Structure 1
Amino acid sequence: MGPDEAVLDGGDTYSIDESITAYRIENGRRYHAYRDGVYWAPNDDRQNEELEVAHNKFRILLDGRLHLAPIAHDIERVLDVGTGTGIWAIEMADEYPKAAVLGIDLSPTQPSLVPPNCSFEIDDARDCWTFPRDHFDFIHIRNLYGSISDWPALLEQVYNHLKPGGWFEHIEFGIDLKSDDDSIPPDSCLLHFVKLLKEAGDQIGQPWDISNNMLRNIEEAGFVNVVDHVYQDPVGPWAADPKLEELGRWSLLEFEIGLEGFALAMLTRVLKWSTAEVQVFLAHIRAELDDRSIHSYHDIRIVYCQKPL
């Protein structure tokens, strides 16, 4: 497959300069063309920068690791679902040079210069997977909040396409903002934003509040050796602990870069706000993010598990 091609829908290959790159331009932001409209986030450089910042934050959270699952170093096949810019898949391929690492996404925004054991395909993970059953040693999902309507169906596909004994790791951030010292004001714009995202997600049947149901869904899918970790992720550098302070700095940067992309499609397409109304609302949120007297955080949940032998 050449650098200007992508695999679609079970093997058909199309040039990615055709309909896949006929991107939707909306409210000054660029969105995917393949399966137009099913995903809320822009795929332009600005939002891709947010994904890179988030990846670095996860590296800090996991003390430099790419995953928690205790996979063997000689694994053969890895799948990254919703790979985004492909940075996790690329670094995974570097770390596991004997493994073939595949990333799938709706957008061809990944770089062309990648390790020889890393590749990308344009695909919708919600479709019926065309990979062989019992195929992958490790499947990774990170931050698909607001994009999946049927999580049990997706987890069933993960289960079916893992090798017996293979590992699955799922990472999602909890959308609810918290504060241990009650420093979030009752009329907080951030809290209102969370409420709006939940409302919009419910309207389109693609919930944002994923983390609270992850563990139950994974256990009901039949996985074993399930391990559940919940971490605190501060919004801003207010924490006394040095690691939490660093996480907070990166989390605040992620919010600042990605905020408009988080809001525009959900509030204008779904809730029918005007673009001007969204921008005024975002200005209030940014002012709140700059308020160092507010000590807010959200949870990050990481669940890893194994397909039974």
Structure 2
Amino acid sequence: MSEGADLVANSAAPLVADDENYDSGIDNPSLASSTQSLTESVLSHVYENGRRYHSKSVGRYFLPTDEQEQDRLDMYHHFMLELLGGKISLAPFDRDPGFVLDCGTGTGIWALDYAEQHPASVVYGIDMAPIQPSYVYPNVRFEIDDLELDWTFRDKFDLIYARLMSTGIKDWPRFFQQMYDFMNPGGYVELSEHDLNGVRSDDGTMPSDTAYNRYLTLLTKCMASNGLNPYLTLTDYTRMLTSAGFEITKTLEFKIPMGGWPKGKKAKYLGLLYAEMSKTGFDAYGKSLLVKEGGLTVEEADQLIRECVELLGERKQHVYYYKWHIVARKPE
């Protein structure tokens, strides 16, 4: 069976709800991350609505950088490992690639795991916020930078990995072109993104006014007003990669259940993981934008976020969203 077979083998097949009672049995791990020794200006933060945001990212990246968000990002890394059958990467190397770039490395957990599994590789993790650990493997380099500026790396890469960049990249064609220009022939780009165009249901249990889509409609409108493109599809990403010169070698489309409602051990576990992450995720993605750009009061934003979180626990709306994983290759 392929990676995530019960979710991706036929993404057109409906997810079936499990009517039996269940106990999630999921712990909420907290993987602590300390910051690097950097200048005071790089480390400065602002606080609003009870969350901490990195001051250098204001206006460019709208999610917080506090410990609560770092825990969610680390849990998302576990979620991705579960989704891909324990594989940290699907790029088909027969040896350790020389230089690897992790775009938007966040807490640095992917870069650290990849470096541990590939000791002959040198892994660069780039992010705008300094939330990576100080003590790392000797083959890991963390740097603070904006990937939408001109790239100035001295090395060219054999693997460039990027996931969840839709909240930070405004010019995707340029982003992919810089990937191509800074990649060795035969190298791979690996992209993981999710559909923000709305959630779906296969069995009619989702009402037209569901809180999920009320939240998403307002969130994506706010993102678009800030120069982002939250309406991209799998076809859009593959088209832009191809236009940059890459050859698409693998595309996977997953149905990700929102909550532990589906049948099937893997689908249920991923849904439960999603629900656990979303206890803080709806707030992380939306609170700042809904209040500052969406015209909601803090109380109205809190109410909408609370409705979404409560729906996850009720299991009455059998909803899911699409997640895409793309591997592309630079020709020899």
- 1:20 correspondence with 2:47: no
Q: Which runs of 5+ in 1 are unaligned?
A: 6-14
The whole-number CA distance in structure 2 between the counterparts of 1:24 and 1:208 is 25
Which of 161, 168, 173 is matched with 2:182 structurally?
161
The corresponding residue for 2:207 is 185
The corresponding residue for 2:319 is 296
After superposition, where does 1:83-98 map in structure 2 within 5 Å? 83-98=105-120
Q: Give deviations 1:76-112, integer Å, cap 9, x for gaps.
A: 1000000011000000000100111010001110111
- 1:37 correspondence with 2:64: no
The corresponding residue for 2:253 is 230
TM-aligned CA deviation for residue 36 of structure 1: 2.9
- 1:278 correspondence with 2:287: no
| Paired positions, count | 297
The corresponding residue for 2:285 is 262
The corresponding residue for 2:28 is none
TM-aligned CA deviation for residue 225 of structure 1: 4.1
Larger CA deviation: 251-260 vs 97-106: 251-260
Letter in 1 for 2:83: L
Which of 223, 228, 240 is matched with 1:217 structurally?
240
- 1:81 correspondence with 2:108: no
Percentage of identical aligned residues = 33
When normalised by structure 1's length, the TM-score is 0.92
The corresponding residue for 1:12 is none
Instruction: Confirm or deny: 8 A CA contact 2:101 2:157 kept in the other structure.
Output: yes
TM-aligned CA deviation for residue 17 of structure 1: 4.1
Which of 95, 100, 105 is matched with 2:122 structurally?
100
- 1:195 correspondence with 2:226: no
SS at match of 2:262: coil
SS at match of 1:54: helix
TM-aligned CA deviation for residue 209 of structure 1: 3.0
Q: Give deviations 1:208-233, integer Å, cap 9, x for gaps.
A: 23343211111111101432110111
The whole-number CA distance in structure 2 between the counterparts of 1:35 and 1:64 is 32
The whole-number CA distance in structure 1 between the counterparts of 2:294 and 2:94 is 46
TM-aligned CA deviation for residue 207 of structure 1: 1.9
The corresponding residue for 1:126 is 148
- 1:72 correspondence with 2:104: no
The whole-number CA distance in structure 2 between the counterparts of 1:23 and 1:177 is 33
Instruction: Confirm or deny: 8 A CA contact 1:46 1:258 kept in the other structure.
Output: no
Which of 195, 198, 211 is matched with 1:174 structurally?
195
The whole-number CA distance in structure 1 between the counterparts of 2:305 and 2:219 is 13
Larger CA deviation: 42-51 vs 264-273: 264-273
Larger CA deviation: 204-213 vs 120-129: 204-213
RMSD after superposition? 1.6
Instruction: Confirm or deny: 8 A CA contact 2:248 2:326 kept in the other structure.
Output: no
When normalised by structure 2's length, the TM-score is 0.86
The corresponding residue for 2:23 is none
The corresponding residue for 1:54 is 76
Which of 241, 247, 261 is matched with 2:270 structurally?
247
Q: Which runs of 5+ in 2 are unaligned?
A: 1-33
Q: Give deviations 1:120-167, integer Å, cap 9, x for gaps.
A: 00001111100147x101000000122211100100000100101110
| Poorly superposed stretches of 4+, deviation over 6 Å | none
Instruction: Confirm or deny: 8 A CA contact 1:147 1:207 kept in the other structure.
Output: no
The whole-number CA distance in structure 1 between the counterparts of 2:137 and 2:200 is 40
